[in-house]
Structure 1
Amino acid sequence: MKRYFFLFTVLCFSLVTFAQEFNYGVTAGLNVSHPKDYRNHVGFNVGVKGEYTFSDKQDCLYLESALLLTSKGWKTDVYADESENAGTADWTCDAYYLELPLMVGYKSGITDRVRISASAGPYVACGLFGKSKVKDIPAADDIDNIFSDGMYKRFDYGVKLYVGVDYSNWQLGVSYGLSLQNPIKGGWALQDPKDRTFSLQLAYIINR
């Protein structure tokens, strides 16, 4: 799988040589992570992005990438102690990544200023910091850094899909990211909170 991602990356950067236009801007948005068998976790994404278009026409193929600080994670219930009658408490895991997607897409013009776009491609991510905490249980083994303390794998990879609308310098869209690995390692490996993240993103293209 990693070899295919590498070949795809080389191909995309080779195509950049023929690009007609490069645009760049800033982007921010809301994440909702929903790993299987876990409750929703609300986070954010913020960063910079760039686009290569292969034509100056309204309808064109394009290549885009971004560098994002993104927040993912999950919530679940745990028993307050070994007795099932003791009630439950919230167990929350927050994970912050530096994420790099590389996506190929197509833009279709509706008017001179409005275009619809759709893209897909892989992403890689590096875990920066994060915390695991059980609420209202003082004796719980909270983890201050899930990446350095052996709970989470440092690197993640997966695929993303995106659809959106461009209006002048603004872009509004939604994306879906699917991790292709279980992020948990070590003694936590029976947990499988594989990331499935829906994102709402607003971007401003500076040099258009």
Structure 2
Amino acid sequence: MRKSILCVILGCFFSILCHGQVSFGVNASITSSTLSENFANSKTGIQIGVLCNYELNEDLTLLSGLGYVVKGVNGLWSDLNYSQQLKMFDVQLSYLELPLSIGYKIPIGNNIRLIPNVGIFLSYGLHGHSEIKSINFEAEEVFRFADNSWNPFKDEKFNDWAQTTVTAFESWDYGVRSGLNIEAGNIICHGAYDLGFNKVWNGYGKMGNALKSRSLIIGIGYKF
């Protein structure tokens, strides 16, 4: 089903490229991402990719492209508490991402315009890295378990921790995006917030929460 949706979106996207005024460019961004969990902390990542904008008319523009984005989350607490040590789960996730938004063009100066926009994003997980940290409150130390690193898109079982299994993250993620672009000639400054709809992780231990992605993106691009 998800692959069918992706094919439809890509088909519409490439059919648009065959008509009208299309511009291409490149961009680089900083991301701050987390999951819908009260105790989860944000993780800083990067995004690089290509831009593809299609001018629908004098007022509306279609914003899209394709990018490689690094997301993740810090500080997912487990319910495993042995000898005053609390385990903390950190995750880094890398995706191929396709955004698609409609923007409204607001001229504010000579060759400068604001473009508030809303739309969707679709991401597919490529690879990742995760690890368990432990906090010892008695010694006030934080340390990593050297042998406990794995790909978060696969299940991982720890026999030494009461046979705990850390379930895999979903490869697909999708949701809505709201943003604001500022175009000054060929330079584009952009910001966006992504609200994921897919339950990308089901938790572990007694948490059992189905968590969704949250991301803030701020970057700059150049339009050819």
2:61 paired with 1:69: no
Count residues with an aligned counterpart.
200
Q: 1:186 to 1:35 in 2, by over 3 A?
A: closer
Separation in 2, partners of 1:17, 1:43: 34
Q: Which moved more, 1:182-191 or 1:66-75?
A: 182-191
**% same residue:** 25
Which residue of structure 2 lines up, in the alignment, with residue 41 of structure 1? 43
SS of the residue corresponding to residue 145 of structure 2 reads coil
SS of the residue corresponding to residue 168 of structure 2 reads coil
Which residue of structure 1 lines up, in the alignment, with residue 94 of structure 2? 96
Q: TM-score, normalised by structure 1?
A: 0.81
Which residue of structure 1 lines up, in the alignment, with residue 59 of structure 2? 60
Separation in 2, partners of 1:7, 1:78: 39
What pairs with 1:76-155 in structure 2 (closer than 5 Å)? 76=75, 78=77, 82-83=81-82, 86-135=84-133, 136-138=143-145, 142-149=148-155, 151-155=168-172
Which residue of structure 1 lines up, in the alignment, with residue 31 of structure 2? 31
Which residue of structure 1 lines up, in the alignment, with residue 164 of structure 2? none
SS of the residue corresponding to residue 41 of structure 2 reads coil
Q: 1:155 to 1:143 in 2, by over 3 A?
A: farther
| One-letter amino acid of the counterpart of residue 32, structure 1 | S
Q: 1:179 to 1:78 in 2, by over 3 A?
A: closer
Separation in 2, partners of 1:153, 1:29: 24
Q: 1:123 to 1:191 in 2, by over 3 A?
A: same
Higher strand share: 2
SS of the residue corresponding to residue 34 of structure 1 reads strand
Q: 1:51 to 1:134 in 2, by over 3 A?
A: same
For structure 1, the residue ranges without an aligned partner over 5 or more in a row are none
CA RMSD in angstroms comes to 3.0
Separation in 1, partners of 2:115, 2:66: 19
Separation in 1, partners of 2:41, 2:19: 45
Q: Which moved more, 1:5-14 or 1:181-190?
A: 5-14
Q: How far off its partner does 1:148 sit?
A: 3.8
Separation in 1, partners of 2:94, 2:110: 39
* Alignment match of 1:50 (pick from 52, 60, 84): 52
Q: How far off its partner does 1:131 sit?
A: 1.6
Q: How far off its partner does 1:205 sit?
A: 0.5
Whether the 8 Å contact between 1:31 and 1:200 is mirrored in structure 2 is yes
Q: How far off its partner does 1:11 sit?
A: 6.5
Q: How far off its partner does 1:16 sit?
A: 5.8
Whether the 8 Å contact between 2:169 and 2:200 is mirrored in structure 1 is yes
